[in-house]
Structure 1
Amino acid sequence: MDTQQNTALTRALAEIPGPLPARGVIHIAIPHTDRFTVVGNHLAQHPDLSCTAVGIAVRIQSLPQGIEVGIKALAARCREGEKRIAAALRELEAFGYLQRVRDRLPSGRVITRTVFCNQPTALLRPRRPAAPQHPAAPAPRPTPAPAPAPAQVPTSAPAPALASPPEPQVSEPPPVPPPPLFAAPPGPLFVPLVPPPTAPKPPPAPLPEPDELTPELGRAATALLSDLRRHAPQFTLSETDVRQLVPGVAAWLERAARPDAVRRILTTDLPHPLRHPAKLLKHRLTALLPPPLPGSHDLVSPARPRITVTPFQTCDDCDRAFRSPTPGHCRDCREHRDHHTHREHRSEDARAAA
């Protein structure tokens, strides 16, 4: 039995203008009349979005407003699991297609709205102001129909017609356009939280350097960088790369970082494939630089202010305890002794006066 041919497909291919390509895809474009969604090539051919993210974006774009597009709601509609859908939503949010905006209702309740934009780069361009609405121009005056020319009588020479004086033209003032009903907004109404991929990136941080690059630090840093290929063959560095990275490793060694700890931090958890080992080392040496070790005086807790305590003393006369920096008598005994001494002085003065 011969293989059945699809006559409809054969007829559709025959209707494609021009010669068919020898390789690659052949498009049969049939116009849609209902149930279709327009998808831009910036989304369908996005170089940094995964196919799962593109498919989720097309699914969200085809849904009507008000439909739930959370992770569980999409997992119930699609075959992908919740983890893949969550990763796809994060990709769409990173490139501005999906935004989550917090809004407050008139009742005071705060809700989160999910906004999907089919062309996020268009939101970054300034909006054009609305064109002013001009009033309709006045209709032109109807011109009187020309009277039928009288029958010409054959004469020897035609008499010249007298020209009628021109009618005076009344100039009308130009119409003043009314002010626009809505003023143009000062800027874009919706700005993505994540900058687009074309936004300028900040310059990278410089490679750390030690306070003083001594010959001992330079030799130790050079030996550590040259020895990395024994532990990770991906780090077979050139002499130029080693000379450029020596100050960064010397800064780590100056801050009392052990060589085995530096080697372990630089060579573990590597990306696959590792295309630029020198750039990865520069990034890790800069971003993971430890702080300098604190000094011994920094680890001692601050001394508390000392409070002077007056010691207890025992009175020599009544053996009462009282506070005083020096031994002696208590207050009552001192007052008694002063009073007794004062009486003795008075009596001596009286005897002297007699």
Structure 2
Amino acid sequence: MDTQQNTALKRALAEVPGPLPTSGVIHIVIPHTDRFTVVGNHLAQHPDLSCTAIGIAVRIQSLPQGVEVSIKALAAHCREGEKRIATGLRELEDFGYLQRVRDRLPSGRVITRTVFCNQPTALLRPRSPSVAPAPPPAPAQTVTPAPAAEQPLPAELPELREPSGTPAPEAPAPLPVRPPLPQAPPFVPLPPSLPLVPPPTAPKPPPRPLPRPSEPTPELDREATAFLSDLHRHAPRFMLTEDDVRQLVPGVAAWLERAAHPDAMRHALTDDPPVPLRRPALLLRHRLTELLPPAPPGVRERAALARRPRVAVTPFQTCDGCDRAFRSPTPGHCRDCREDRAYRTEAARIAA
């Protein structure tokens, strides 16, 4: 008894003419009289555009000319985040509905103009000049020509009359002349500010591969597996299967190798997910690839130094004569003490 029933919709449903379908949607069409926008089915039922891109296109089409439609301006009035809006705008650009044109003002300032076309396929074919329909000719009375025996004689012959004295039949009225058709206006080309939109035939680049650690180790593999297996405890939407964990382990190991903290990784990979989240593994793979942090300074240099062959270093020794430090593989005397001892020995030999 506490549930409010919408009886107005049931009354409107009862007034729908014809038999109602047993399944599928039933349309109750109420004509708009103000504040409405005409949207073509080529956009509303586009097979390759996402629902987010179609909604953004309808919103832009309903705005008056001159309103800002940047990512931040749309995010301020929509529930979607800036990332989803940016993705939707890129989809509209790929299919020709949206185009950003750089223009230079007379003052020298360069600005970006956002051009939206509600039917881009119409720009790909030449515009046919609009010909005003010719007004229908006025209904003229149909006159049946007289037989050859009853045709009027030339003017120079005397007028013939019936024996009873009645005048001869008058000549038939001339047939009405159809007015000439109005000439079509000359063909007007498209303005140069709206270039033709090329069809979306350019192939999309292949997706980037999942990052991998430069030196995979069993410790990195265990930490990455534990991180992915425990992810659903912090973000319940990211419930992964065993195959998903096995495929995403190299990407998480690459993050851990670059000294990424697990809490920072968890926030970067799970914050602001799309609604609804249908395939969390694909979202994690995309973010692991696109948001890979840079390597900390010194890691590559230390790795190259570790692979460099080591050079034997001569240790320091203390001189037995003067206690001076010098490099030598074995203990003994420094160079000065050795030279002094050699000089004294030579002097003693000469004196003897």
TM-score category, normalised to shorter length? 0.3 to 0.5
TM-score, reference length from structure 1: 0.43
* Larger of the two Rg values belongs to structure: 1
